[in-house]
Chain A
Amino acid sequence: MELLNTLALALRALSRNKMRSSLTMLGIIIGVGAVIATVSIGQGANYLVQQGIQNMGTNAVFIAAGSGRPGGARMGSWAVKSLVMDDIQAVLREVPLIREAAPGVMSRGQVVYQNQNWNTSIMGTTPNYFQIRNWPVQSGSTFSQEEVDLAANVCVLGTTVANILFPVENPIGKTVRIGNLPFRVTGVLESKGQSTNGDDQDDRIFAPYTTVQKKIAGITWIQFIVASAVTQDASLAAVQPITELLRERHRIRRGEDDDFFVRTQTEVADLANQTQSVMTLLLGSIASVSLLVGGIGIMNIMLVSVTERTREIGVRMAVGATEGDVQNQFLVEAVTLSMVGGLIGIIVGLAGSALINKVLRWPVLISVKAMIIAALFSVAVGIFFGFYPARKAARLDPIEALRYE
């Protein structure tokens, strides 16, 4: 019996029991829908993170004082006094892959304007920092190199700080107090939003690094260097020469640990990618469990169906159906259930993703790959869980089956 025939037969058999067929499919629909929706959300989150990284500049290279452990070690690392301004000059001079570099000196302080005040972080740097980070001002201007050389009391506000201190007034040209020192506001930056680890990048004040070093933090070193390589590939290639250069400058002997670490945005991107893939995989596998449960539902119903239709099987065999015909009939029924369920599940998953996107404002990214895999997987579920009942049907003795009450 040809396949098309069997398929028509299966569809007819399933349509005779619409309620049961749809309930059986529900397991697969929920399973596939869940897979599609979770993968879409996972990929959406991934996309968001990647966007954030793009935002930072894919060519960026970070050099920070301290040991290379990311995350927790970083706050402590700023106490390490290993990096100085001369290191920046040396890197720019000796590593041609690096185009620009800016220092970073961090401090915290209470910022006051009239009756408004706010505790925020203050970063000392040079004007080219804003170019490296691709971070323009929305009004006014950044401070100049002369002001850095003079250690002038000028600052640029992040939008969060600007909004808090100047709810109505235009901040440009106004004077705020940081600690006891007056600072003239030269500009307000455009909003950068959250960083990849969730910090508000706009909750910050920028001032010349010389000013922060001498007048606020009272230090002579710098905590990190933000550099930009000529290309994205160059950022990775620059790690080795920078490391060698700084080890030499810091007189670190062979076998001793670095007192700084170099990280590129590409590495961060890869790491984030990896984390997201694991998350997506995890979500996907949890969703697959429901697909499995759906498959067991199909097997259950097919077994009931075989028992119920014992006589039908007997009649079919009496009029000339072979074991193979009967087996195929039930197998195709199971696969049809799971496949139609899978297709509906994909639609449900897409609708669910769209709904999540609309209601929760989460970014979702529809994955065609996930859709194809879900469809194939649901067919596989049908074959796997349909085989045993189909085999059972085919093995029936026609005489016994015809006598079955």
Chain B
Amino acid sequence: MSASLNADGPMIRLEQVHKTYQLGEMQVHALRGVSLHIEDSEFVAVMGASGSGKSTLMNIIGCLDRPTRGQYFLDGADVSTLTKNELARIRNRKLGFVFQQFNLLSRTSALENVELPTVYSALPPEERVKRAREALARVGLANRADHHPSQLSGGQQQRVAIARALVNHPQILLADEPTGNLDSRTSVEIMEILQELNEEQGLTVIMVTHEQDIAQYAKRAIVFRDGKILHDRKIEERLVAKDVLLTLPAGESSEEAASGEAGQAEKGSAQAAAPA
């Protein structure tokens, strides 16, 4: 996968970032001077109670929002001064998003969903389909390309969403509560994919979660409180999803992982596992 262009500096550098919202008469200080470095190939869990500023941080890192004050350098470039269209381009080329609600387009096949970002990156149609198929294969859903989201289980939908995030070969994967709507075994399976992407392909993963056990799969945890970093530490006793899966009882979702066979029975059970 793509390596950082300037290997020297950090991939993400936030300097005294403030974010203030105007909520009616009230001013909400979502971020109060956050400074943060995230290096290439890190796996960071961002934690904190709701309203602690972690979502605002993700929005700023994801170039969906701009800081009120302070600077944000992405890959060496100051992002805080870019125009909306330039930010859209960065989201398209350098970032991949995974959401708690999956946010797949309904009545649209998995393949088309995965293709979505490539539509905005001026790729020729054949290349788009090729990349989308590759990305689907990467998350083990090559045989589900023509299924619509309603025909897929929650775990499968989230994997389609991950494939969508990967299709433009980003440098950073931003996951906002990726397991929030999934059962525990499926959650571990999603963590398995994220760990593989991080370790085998060197993809930088930044994941917001409020679950301590999910955060244990990351390499570093940043905890927020009241718009500031409470603490930032390396994860001790890191969990490895592959090993954890072996200890878990095989659920109905285990057959999804065995993506080789697409029997009728399997299809039926997958449909039964409707998303929450």
Do A and B originate from a single complex?
A: yes
User: A318-B97, A402-B103 known; A5 and B62 CB under 8 Å?
Assistant: no
Shortest Cβ distance from residue B58 to the other chain A in the assembled complex, whole angstroms: 10
Interface presence of B130 (CB below 8 A): no
Q: Which of A2, A9, A314, A399 contacts B103 (CB 8 A)?
A: A314
Interface presence of B38 (CB below 8 A): no
Shortest Cβ distance from residue A330 to the other chain B in the assembled complex, whole angstroms: 15
Residue of A whose beta carbon sits closest to that of B88: A322
Given the complex, which residues of A lie within 8 Å of B92, measured CB to CB? 319-321
Which of B113-121, B149-157, B194-202, B217-225 makes up part of the contact surface?
B113-121
Shortest Cβ distance from residue A5 to the other chain B in the assembled complex, whole angstroms: 6
The A-contacting residues of B in range 91-130, CB under 8 angstroms, are 91-93, 97, 99, 101, 103, 105, 107-108, 112, 116-117, 119-122
Residue of B whose beta carbon sits closest to that of A329: B119
Given the complex, which residues of B lie within 8 Å of A2, measured CB to CB? 122
The B-contacting residues of A in range 78-122, CB under 8 angstroms, are none
Interface presence of A317 (CB below 8 A): yes
Are the C-beta atoms of B105 and A315 separated by less than 8 Å? yes
CA distance A393 to B97 in the complex (A): 21
Are the C-beta atoms of A16 and B85 separated by less than 8 Å? no
What's the A-B contact tally at a CB cutoff of 8 Å? 62
Given the complex, which residues of A lie within 8 Å of B85, measured CB to CB? 322-324
Interface presence of A316 (CB below 8 A): yes
User: A314-B103, A318-B97, A320-B89 known; A1 and B64 CB under 8 Å?
Assistant: no
Interface presence of B134 (CB below 8 A): no
Shortest Cβ distance from residue A310 to the other chain B in the assembled complex, whole angstroms: 11
Interface presence of B84 (CB below 8 A): yes
A: contact size bracket: 20 to 34
Given the complex, which residues of B lie within 8 Å of A314, measured CB to CB? 103
Shortest Cβ distance from residue B87 to the other chain A in the assembled complex, whole angstroms: 9
Q: Interface of chain A, helix or strand or loop or mixed? A: helix
Are the C-beta atoms of A318 and B62 separated by less than 8 Å? yes
Interface presence of A312 (CB below 8 A): yes
Are the C-beta atoms of A320 and B103 separated by less than 8 Å? no
Shortest Cβ distance from residue B99 to the other chain A in the assembled complex, whole angstroms: 7
| Binary flags per residue of B168-207, CB closer than 8 Å to A gives 1, else 0 | 1000000000000000000000000000000000000000
Are the C-beta atoms of A315 and B103 separated by less than 8 Å? yes
CA distance A398 to B85 in the complex (A): 13
Are the C-beta atoms of A1 and B119 separated by less than 8 Å? yes
Given the complex, which residues of B lie within 8 Å of A315, measured CB to CB? 103, 105, 116
Residue of A whose beta carbon sits closest to that of B105: A312
Given the complex, which residues of A lie within 8 Å of B122, measured CB to CB? 1-2
Interface presence of B255 (CB below 8 A): no
CA distance A323 to B65 in the complex (A): 14
Given the complex, which residues of B lie within 8 Å of A323, measured CB to CB? 84-85, 88
Residue of A whose beta carbon sits closest to that of B174: A318
User: A399-B59, A399-B64, A399-B65 known; A320 and B105 CB under 8 Å?
Assistant: no
Given the complex, which residues of B lie within 8 Å of A318, measured CB to CB? 62, 64, 91, 97
Q: Which of A12, A16, A321, A402 contacts B99 (CB 8 A)?
A: A402
Interface presence of A133 (CB below 8 A): no
Given the complex, which residues of A lie within 8 Å of B112, measured CB to CB? 12
Interface presence of B164 (CB below 8 A): yes
Q: How many residues of B contact A (CB 8 A)?
A: 27
Shortest Cβ distance from residue B96 to the other chain A in the assembled complex, whole angstroms: 8
Given the complex, which residues of A lie within 8 Å of B64, measured CB to CB? 317-318, 398-399
Given the complex, which residues of B lie within 8 Å of A325, measured CB to CB? 88, 120
CA distance A6 to B202 in the complex (A): 34
User: A311-B103, A314-B103, A315-B103 known; A320 and B117 CB under 8 Å?
Assistant: yes
CA distance A323 to B62 in the complex (A): 17
The A-contacting residues of B in range 60-75, CB under 8 angstroms, are 62, 64-65
The B-contacting residues of A in range 380-405, CB under 8 angstroms, are 398-399, 402
Shortest Cβ distance from residue A306 to the other chain B in the assembled complex, whole angstroms: 15
Are the C-beta atoms of A317 and B88 separated by less than 8 Å? yes
Given the complex, which residues of B lie within 8 Å of A317, measured CB to CB? 64, 88, 91
Are the C-beta atoms of B119 and A9 separated by less than 8 Å? yes
Residue of A whose beta carbon sits closest to that of B165: A319
Are the C-beta atoms of A320 and B99 separated by less than 8 Å? no
The A-contacting residues of B in range 220-247, CB under 8 angstroms, are none
Given the complex, which residues of A lie within 8 Å of B168, measured CB to CB? 320
Are the C-beta atoms of A320 and B59 separated by less than 8 Å? no
CA distance A352 to B203 in the complex (A): 63
Residue of B whose beta carbon sits closest to that of A316: B116
CA distance A1 to B85 in the complex (A): 12
Given the complex, which residues of B lie within 8 Å of A9, measured CB to CB? 119
CA distance A321 to B164 in the complex (A): 14
Shortest Cβ distance from residue A23 to the other chain B in the assembled complex, whole angstroms: 18
CA distance A282 to B105 in the complex (A): 47
CA distance A255 to B189 in the complex (A): 107
Given the complex, which residues of A lie within 8 Å of B88, measured CB to CB? 317, 320-323, 325
Q: Which of A1, A312, A398 contacts B120 (CB 8 A)?
A: A1
CA distance A349 to B65 in the complex (A): 51
Residue of B whose beta carbon sits closest to that of A320: B92
Are the C-beta atoms of A319 and B84 separated by less than 8 Å? no
Residue of A whose beta carbon sits closest to that of B116: A319
Given the complex, which residues of B lie within 8 Å of A319, measured CB to CB? 91-92, 97, 116-117, 120, 164
Are the C-beta atoms of B93 and A320 separated by less than 8 Å? yes
CA distance A79 to B33 in the complex (A): 105
- On A, residues with C-beta under 8 Å from B are 1-2, 5, 9, 12, 16, 311-312, 314-325, 398-399, 402
23 A-B residue pairs with Cβ-Cβ distance under 8 Å, sorted by A, are A1-B119, A1-B120, A2-B122, A5-B119, A9-B119, A12-B108, A311-B101, A314-B103, A315-B105, A315-B116, A318-B62, A319-B91, A319-B97, A319-B164, A320-B92, A320-B93, A320-B117, A320-B120, A322-B84, A322-B88, A325-B88, A325-B120, A402-B99
List 5 additional A-B contacts (Cβ < 8 Å) besides A314-B103, A320-B117, A322-B89.
A12-B112, A316-B120, A318-B97, A320-B92, A322-B88
Q: Which A-B residue pairs are the 10 nearest by beta carbons?
A: A320-B92, A319-B117, A320-B120, A322-B88, A16-B107, A322-B85, A315-B103, A318-B97, A320-B91, A398-B64
